[in-house]
Amino acid sequence: PFTKFRLPVLVSCEDQEGNVLVGGPGHNSFFWVGEELFTAYHSLVSPEEKDGLRQLCYDRAGFHADGTPYINGPTLAPQLVPLKELGRENKSRYACVCPPALNDGDIALCALSKGRVWRGTHASIRFDRPVSAEMIVIYPGDNGSEKGYLLLNSDRSMAVDLSAIGQLPGRNLVLTFCETKLWTLDLFFEKEASLSEVMIVGKAKP
C-alpha cells in the first residue's frame, strides 16, 4: 500500500523578504532526457493569488546517495536546457576528488536539501584522466556575493563574481571557454563562500 512520504514536501512556495515569487507549485510528473531526470509541475501565474491560472514549470530532479529525493526548484533564474539536447554531459560526476556537495546534482533549493552545501575558501576537483570541458556552471549555496577565481589545470585563471548574478532562485554563474582537456579545477575565494553545485560541461562521450 501507498505510504505518505514522512519528510517535508519537495517543492514549496518561494519567497524573498515577504514577497511571494512562486506560488502554488504541485502535481509533479517526472521524465528523463538522456541521463538527466526532470520534473514538470504547475505554479500560479500570479504568485500571490490563492487560486487562479496555472503555468507549467520544469526543473531538474534526482536522488541523494541516501535515497532521499530532491528537486532543483522552483527556479526563476535561467537554467541550461537538457544537456542531451546540446550534445553535452556533466563531467563533474567523473571526478575522483571533489567535495560531495559540489557534484551530487542538488543545487540546495528544496526543503530536503537545505544545508547540503560546501563552505570554504578553496575547493579542489580532480580527475584520474582528463575530461573534455568548455563550460563551468557554479551554483551558490545561499545569497552570498563572494568574489574569487577559478584555476583550470593550474595554469589558466578566470574571475568568479557571485555578486553579478542577482538573487533569483536557481541563480548560477556560467563561465565558457575553448574546449579544454581538464585534469584539475580549483576555486579560490577572498572569504568563506557557500556553493551548492559545480557543473563541468563538455561534449558527451560517443
pLDDT surpassing 80 at residue 24: no
Residue 180 is placed in which grid cell?
A: 579544454
Percent of the chain surpassing pLDDT 70: 89
The CA–CA distances, whole Å, from 72 to 110, 190, 196 equal 7, 28, 11
Amino acid 145: pLDDT: 87
Structural domain of 117: 14-203
CATH number at residue 23: 2.60.120.260
Q: Look at residue 181 and tell me if it is in a domain.
A: yes
Quote the pTM value.
Answer: 0.90
Q: Residue 127 — pLDDT band, cuts 50, 70, 90?
A: very high
Q: pLDDT for 149-162, tens place per residue? A: 999 999 999 999 99
Measured CA to CA, the distance from residue 148 to residue 24 in angstroms comes to 37
Q: pLDDT for 74-86, tens place per residue? A: 898 999 999 999 9
Residue 21 is placed in which grid cell?
A: 515569487
Amino acid 1: pLDDT: 57
Amino acid 161: pLDDT: 97
Q: Look at residue 1 and tell me if it is in a domain.
A: no
Q: pLDDT for 157-176, tens place per residue? A: 999 999 999 989 999 999 99
Q: Residue 68 — pLDDT band, cuts 50, 70, 90?
A: confident
Q: Look at residue 81 and tell me if it is in a domain.
A: yes
- Angle at 189 (CA atoms; ends 114, 88), nearest 5 degrees: 70
Q: Look at residue 141 and tell me if it is in a domain.
A: yes
Neighbours of 46 (CB within 10 A): 13
Q: Look at residue 155 and tell me if it is in a domain.
A: yes
Q: Look at residue 3 and tell me if it is in a domain.
A: no
Q: Look at residue 132 and tell me if it is in a domain.
A: yes
Q: Look at residue 85 and tell me if it is in a domain.
A: yes
Question: What are the phi and psi torsion angles at 91 (to 5°)?
Answer: -80, -10
Total number of domains in the chain: 1
With b for 16 or more beta-carbon neighbours within 10 A and e for fewer, the 154-186 pattern comes to eeeeeebebeebeeebbbbbeeeeeeeebebbb
How much is the mean pLDDT over the chain? 89
